[in-house]
Amino acid sequence: MSRVFLIWAVAHSVKEVQSEDSVLLFVIAWTITEIIRYSLYTFSLLNHLPYIIKGARYTLFIVLYPMGVTGELLTIYAALTFVPQAGLYSISLPNKYNFSFDCHAFLILIMISYIPLFPQLHFHMIHQRRKVLSHTEEHKKFE
């Protein structure tokens, strides 16, 4: 969901952030991650998974996750300046639904949500790395 949100709700909707270096940062991180992920899936389906692909999947995230998150957060931060001026996706009272939504505040909440969520996802991948790569090393010992 974060990818759809960042591409559509932030980068597409706030034209001023499209030229930010932070967009390039998260796009590069996402691209490398997906190439590795889908290579792993493809080779796994073929029952021929090279160790370099498995190693890349469970090692490069150590750099790519923080790189992507940094790009995402910097892009959202850059958008914060332009969202209130344009009133982007904001609904103010009074209206017939008696409902209001402040996109600026929502973006701030999204940024704050990275504090508990990013470490949880990163440590999950570290645990997966330990589990998958240590199993591979043990398996190699017996061959």
Which residues are identified as catalytic? 65, 72
State the Cα–Cα distance between residues 76 and 6, nearest whole angstrom.
Answer: 8
Name the one residue in this structure whose structure tokens are 């750099």: 63
Structure tokens at 100: 């209001």
State the Cα–Cα distance between residues 20 and 121, nearest whole angstrom.
Answer: 26
Q: Which of 44, 68, 75 is nearest to 125 (CA)?
A: 68
